[in-house]
Amino acid sequence: MKRVRIAVVGAGVAGFSSAVCIAEALPSCSVTLVADRFSPDTTSDGAAGIVLAAEFPGTSLSHLKNIYQCWCNTELWVRLHTAKEPRQSLMKHACFSPSWQIFKEVPANKKPFWSEFVIGFRIMTDGELRRFPHHKFGHAFTTVRCDCSSYLPWLQNRLVEKRKVNDLQELFNNFDLIVNCSGLGSKSLVGDTHVYPVRGQVLKVEAPWLNHFIRDGDGGTYIYPGIRSVTLGGTRQEGDWRLHVDRAEAEGILERCSRLEPSLRKAKVLGEWVGLRPSRKNPRVEKEVVQVQGHRVPVVHNYGHGGSGVTLAWGTALDVMELVREHLGEKLLQARLLPPS
Ligand SMILES: Cc1cc2nc3c(=O)[nH]c(=O)nc-3n(C[C@H](O)[C@H](O)[C@H](O)COP(=O)(O)OP(=O)(O)OC[C@H]3O[C@@H](n4cnc5c(N)ncnc54)[C@H](O)[C@@H]3O)c2cc1C
């Protein structure tokens, strides 16, 4: 008898994290990843990749803490280490990022719920704040920055299939379970009217002298030093599907970032990029049973992470793996009793 066959739709950070988690935790399953766009053409590739917690109204604080803890236990580091990669290749995917998040007004809650999961959280000193004369308050901490343009190809050493899925029914003959990580594609793929784009435009500049990430508290302006370049942002335009670079916005971003960090005025612009954050009021991480031609086909959804997809990737992938396990309970047991095919 065959192993349990699982299709994961989507090759962004949500799809790859889910596929790797399932393949590693449930070895009696075979996992195939199906998508029409792979790295470097997914939204995930352009993400600044900063692991920074956000709140979602439909998710309890305790569950959010569990999800964020996956990163703050430096899951990526553990995985890279167990893959026995040399240090140079490990540094290609992720680095620690000393960070300043600054506020024009002192926030009501000075110590956010995620403060215990980042490294060395503290309130910025007056000396540090003197660099930002228009800001009154700030958080200082160290978090992880993940470079998806090399991280995704690293994850891609799993079985993959390049094609567009027009309807989940296409997969039902060949797979026992489908994991849907199609991001904004879920709007047409599963008819979800609650998923919408939040457009983000960024510049990549050469400024190797910068080490600290600086983020204006509302997330409208940010400077994220990465491994190969520094990402300057940004924009957050709800419902805007434009994928081309807007000249005026690019100039505005450069001006705002240079006001926060004047040395950026001499930085060389390496590139510009626009991405659509696959947004939803709350990410959809749940199971469903779909009826197709008289058969009950299990589906697990994992999409709608908005501007936090890199941050949520490992935590939600572990949730997906548990939902897959629940869905397949009986089948998994049968598969385990059989010799591997
Ligand atoms: C400017 C910007 C900066 C960001 N910075 C950060 C950050 O610092 N930290 C952070 O945590 N997040 C950040 N994000 C958010 C992050 O990029 C997203 O949340 C994340 O990329 C979503 O990942 P995903 O895998 O769900 O979707 P995607 O990366 O969009 O992948 C979707 C996949 O599904 C496939 N697909 C869709 N429909 C179909 C179909 N019908 N058939 C076959 N395949 C299909 C696509 O081809 C693709 O492979 C940022 C986003 C932007 C735009």
pLDDT in tens, 77-99: 555 445 455 444 555 677 778 99
The pLDDT score that the predictor gives to residue 92 is 67
Find out whether the beta carbon of 36 lies less than 6 Å from any atom of ligand 1.
yes
Rounded distance between C-alpha atoms, residue 138 and residue 232, angstroms: 19
* Alpha carbon 329 to chain centroid, angstroms: 28
Decide if 191 contacts 166 (C-beta within 8 A). no
Which residue stretches of the chain are H helix? 13-25, 43-46, 61-72, 75-82, 87-93, 126-129, 148-155, 169-172, 186-189, 247-260, 309-337
Q: In what order do the strands lie in the sheet with 160-162?
A: 160-162, 29-35, 4-9, 177-180, 295-303, 284-292
Residues of the binding site for FAD: 36-37, 43-44, 165, 306-311
The pLDDT score that the predictor gives to residue 333 is 58
What are the tokens at 11? Answer: 């090759």
Average pLDDT for the chain: 87
The pLDDT score that the predictor gives to residue 242 is 97
The Å distance, Cα 184 to ligand 1 centre, comes to 8
The Å distance, Cα 330 to ligand 1 centre, comes to 33
What are the tokens at 185? Answer: 């594609």
**Average pLDDT value for residue range 36-56:** 90
Please tell me the CATH superfamily of domain 75-145, with its number.
D-Amino Acid Oxidase, subunit A, domain 2 (3.30.9.10)
Reply yes or no: is the peptide bond before residue 197 cis, omega within 30 of 0: no
Amino acid at 124: M
Rounded distance between C-alpha atoms, residue 230 and residue 262, angstroms: 14
Weakest-pLDDT range from 158-167, 245-254, 326-335: 326-335
pLDDT above 60 (res 53): yes
Residue 118: band (very low, low, confident or very high) from pLDDT cuts 50, 70, 90: confident
Find out whether the beta carbon of 99 lies less than 6 Å from any atom of ligand 1.
no
3-state helix, strand, coil in the chain (%, to 5): 35, 30, 35
pTM score, two decimals? 0.86
> For ligand 1, atom 33, which residue shows the shortest CA distance?
10
Weakest-pLDDT range from 193-207, 215-229, 324-338: 324-338
**Average pLDDT value for residue range 312-317:** 92
Where do the structural domains in the chain lie, given as residue ranges? Answer: 1-49+147-190+281-341, 75-145, 196-279
Find out whether the beta carbon of 223 lies less than 6 Å from any atom of ligand 1.
no
**Average pLDDT value for residue range 140-144:** 89
Rounded distance between C-alpha atoms, residue 308 and residue 136, angstroms: 26
Please tell me which residue, 198 or 167, carries the higher pLDDT value: 198
C-alpha separations of 149 from 146, 180, 304 in Å: 9, 22, 20
Quick check: do 75-145 and 196-279 share a fold?
yes
Residue 153: band (very low, low, confident or very high) from pLDDT cuts 50, 70, 90: confident
Rounded distance between C-alpha atoms, residue 120 and residue 104, angstroms: 22
Find out whether the beta carbon of 253 lies less than 6 Å from any atom of ligand 1.
no
pLDDT above 70 (res 76): no
Domain 196-279 adopts which CATH fold? Answer: D-Amino Acid Oxidase; Chain A, domain 2 (3.30.9)
Find out whether the beta carbon of 47 lies less than 6 Å from any atom of ligand 1.
yes
CATH architecture of 1-49+147-190+281-341: 3-Layer(aba) Sandwich (3.40)
The pLDDT score that the predictor gives to residue 73 is 60
